[in-house]
Structure 1
């Protein structure tokens, strides 16, 4: 009966209904933006599938007698298909391309090629569902909770509550739990809407994403409970909670990002580009024999094609291209190591900040994290190597382009091996909730 009265009291408030309606509207807008993002990615994939076949046919007709020249131009598509959950958490997939179209030339020069993107759009970012969940849901929790006790005190009804209820602590917890149920109900509606719009299968990943969202909401209610237990004024509670929101969601993440950028600078990014370019371009002014010898050191199985050093030949040219990758290996490995260190330490910091942890967890579940993009690039490099090993003998033996079955090279898809560990993802949020409950308990008893 008590729950019904609290629920009726909440829903008859225009401010509460307006806040819930606004959250639903923004959540649906985030789902719409995520759906547009997924549609754009899918349209790009369909265009690539159609274009690649025409691309092969055109170049084979133009360069049938010169396979080396044909493979200078021909590009092969390697696709990272979008998970439907990426519509909920776009992450870095709007910056990092999901389609790599590469030639068999030096890979490092093509590795970080990306799509043309309006920088103004990147600056403003996407109002996807994860943004609504991480940044706006806590604000709604604060609006619902900041005066849960102070309102009773300021209106003079707290003494009446104290005499008529068995437990003042139970009264406050019940009041907050009703508000929690309202927000969880909105989350259920939004997740169901996303399931329908994105055609998301009802699997463990989707369920874990929902549970993480609920745990994050509970954390903010426990934080609000801790503040209101001090029995300060409504103005003090609101100011304190908004200050905490600002520190947790804006200042600390920005500070951590700046610290990691300072501690792990990446001058290797420029060094890799320079080493790759020098590794290739300087070979034009050098003797051919050392370049070919280095190529055979990398691929001893091709040494049977000899050491042609007179005039231009494709063996020497693609050996130069290979040197672009080989000469930049040290810088590339150092760069990858720095990026992995940043990712690892970001995850460690995030385990202490529920908002950062939730963002990283949602991106990981949706397949839109930076670490997963690095895995995609590594898979692309292996795809590139397979192409080289297949085509190098054809080029060196001067085969005709029409002798190759080009239909065996449709766009290839990347398959991610993702091992979901629900308890590891939930643990930081659960521990944060327990911590807030423990430090709130002494003051809660004094109510």
Structure 2
């Protein structure tokens, strides 16, 4: 019986077209992921080569003053891009994966990013997570909305009922065939991704695949419940598409509006302007006042006295430091509000499987807001380490050629945060079991089915 039902399902021209369309779109998403991966690799390679040449070139130009040399030199920190990131690009298309900073004011440099076409950023990338979250449900709806109603409307259901001992078992078999077909399609695309994108067969990929399967099962559970209401095909199609529209587009937009209004953040541009104004106004202030504030921040540098001349690098870098210090409140506020947004979205998403799927896939791929916040924190630590290393050399006017500039390599930040299995899987299991249970109870009420 199962083999016959599968042959009948797969012979349908609509089924073949639907599966082929999904496979083609899935493969295109992998090619887009490959393109993104190659771009990231190219950027990292270029940053590594550029920093080496950039430091050597400036060191040869500015041999007399190390303070002047460090005004120009940039040091790069890379946010490691995992191969699986190509499946869920997330925020990596708008937030830079490489931060190149001088030891001058950090706040004016933190939010520098690549120039991108704003139209492309608005539309986003058609990565695999997009195909999974948006397109798989549409095909599931197409395959299941009339799974019983079509036969009732065509008058063949009575024949099925007389030839089948348990019609509920028959319906389950129809659903199982479609579930296995979509999971098989998912598996094929993931296997192609493993070879095409060089994704290692590790825990991250296993969790990514498991969440994808649970997401597909969620939509089958939704369809199972709607079919169990025993309505006509038109009703099923309309209500399922309405649910899709609500869960995929309307509800996320409402939640985003709520979070943005509840946790308003200061603009990065406003923060940058604040830092620059705080720095520039120091040119018109008493130099010793600036130095006193600098000593308060770094008491270990109190032994460096302001020289009796118009300009000194001690005073200049103290001004740069004060620019960061006086914008620290706004910087901390921005960081706190972004963390609150991230936490709120994760909490709310526990009750919305579509949002939960997208957030979890991005977390696995290290392309979520949490990863970006960690990278910004690491950039701050990286910048501070460079400052503390060079400040004594600048204030002592150490000879440029005494520093081994070739030792300064591009550094890499590796996000080692783990996925919480309970938070990742429990929402899916809860909603899937709930919908299946309600659907099963509805079928039991129909005497002609059980």
TM-score by length of 2: 0.97
1:381 corresponds to: 380
How big is the shift at 1:420? 2.5
Asked if 1 retains the 8 angstrom alpha-carbon contact of 2:228 and 2:440, the reply is no
Using the alignment, how far apart are the partners of 2:18 and 2:206 within structure 1?
Answer: 26
Asked if 2 retains the 8 angstrom alpha-carbon contact of 1:295 and 1:319, the reply is yes
Aligned residue runs from structure 1 range 111-122, under 5 A = 111-122=110-121
Q: Which runs of 5+ in 2 are unaligned?
A: none
Asked if 1 retains the 8 angstrom alpha-carbon contact of 2:363 and 2:419, the reply is no
Q: Structure 1 residue 199 and structure 2 residue 198: aligned? A: yes
Using the alignment, how far apart are the partners of 1:316 and 1:134 within structure 2?
Answer: 55
Using the alignment, how far apart are the partners of 2:278 and 2:340 within structure 1?
Answer: 27
How big is the shift at 1:309? 5.4
Asked if 2 retains the 8 angstrom alpha-carbon contact of 1:268 and 1:334, the reply is no
Using the alignment, how far apart are the partners of 1:288 and 1:309 within structure 2?
Answer: 11
Using the alignment, how far apart are the partners of 1:134 and 1:41 within structure 2?
Answer: 24
Q: Structure 1 residue 187 and structure 2 residue 180: aligned? A: no
1:226 corresponds to: 225
Asked if 2 retains the 8 angstrom alpha-carbon contact of 1:289 and 1:309, the reply is no
Q: Structure 1 residue 312 and structure 2 residue 311: aligned? A: yes
Between Structure 1 and Structure 2, how many residues are aligned?
446
How big is the shift at 1:271? 4.7
| Secondary structure, aligned partner of 1:267 | coil
Q: Which runs of 5+ in 1 are unaligned?
A: none
1:208 corresponds to: 207
Using the alignment, how far apart are the partners of 2:402 and 2:443 within structure 1?
Answer: 80
Using the alignment, how far apart are the partners of 2:355 and 2:372 within structure 1?
Answer: 19
| Secondary structure, aligned partner of 1:6 | helix
How big is the shift at 1:169? 1.4
Q: Which runs of 4+ in 1 moved over 2 A?
A: 267-275, 307-310, 420-424
Using the alignment, how far apart are the partners of 1:166 and 1:216 within structure 2?
Answer: 32
Deviations 1:56-110 (A, max 9, x none): 1110111010111111111001111210001100001011000111000011110
Q: Structure 1 residue 391 and structure 2 residue 368: aligned? A: no
| Secondary structure, aligned partner of 2:108 | helix
Deviations 1:364-395 (A, max 9, x none): 00010011011001001100000000100111
Using the alignment, how far apart are the partners of 2:308 and 2:275 within structure 1?
Answer: 23
Using the alignment, how far apart are the partners of 1:336 and 1:377 within structure 2?
Answer: 9
Deviations 1:286-320 (A, max 9, x none): 00001101111111111111133531000000000
1:372 corresponds to: 371
2:161 corresponds to: 162
Using the alignment, how far apart are the partners of 2:42 and 2:348 within structure 1?
Answer: 37
| Secondary structure, aligned partner of 1:200 | coil
How big is the shift at 1:278? 2.3
Using the alignment, how far apart are the partners of 1:308 and 1:294 within structure 2?
Answer: 17
| Secondary structure, aligned partner of 1:399 | coil
Asked if 2 retains the 8 angstrom alpha-carbon contact of 1:288 and 1:309, the reply is no
How big is the shift at 1:19? 0.5
How big is the shift at 1:268? 6.0
1:39 corresponds to: 38
1:96 corresponds to: 95
TM-score by length of 1: 0.98
2:356 corresponds to: 357
Aligned residue runs from structure 1 range 266-415, under 5 A = 266-267=265-266, 269=268, 271-308=270-307, 310-415=309-414
How big is the shift at 1:439? 2.1
2:79 corresponds to: 80
More displaced stretch, 192-201 vs 429-438 = 429-438
Q: Structure 1 residue 20 and structure 2 residue 22: aligned? A: no
Asked if 1 retains the 8 angstrom alpha-carbon contact of 2:350 and 2:423, the reply is no
Asked if 1 retains the 8 angstrom alpha-carbon contact of 2:80 and 2:415, the reply is no
2:430 corresponds to: 431
Using the alignment, how far apart are the partners of 2:421 and 2:42 within structure 1?
Answer: 32
Using the alignment, how far apart are the partners of 1:42 and 1:72 within structure 2?
Answer: 28
Question: Closer, same or farther in 2 for the Cα pair 1:164/1:309, shift >3 Å?
Answer: farther
| Secondary structure, aligned partner of 2:99 | strand
Using the alignment, how far apart are the partners of 2:16 and 2:257 within structure 1?
Answer: 40
Task: Provide the aligned C-alpha RMSD in A.
Answer: 1.1
Using the alignment, how far apart are the partners of 1:440 and 1:277 within structure 2?
Answer: 61
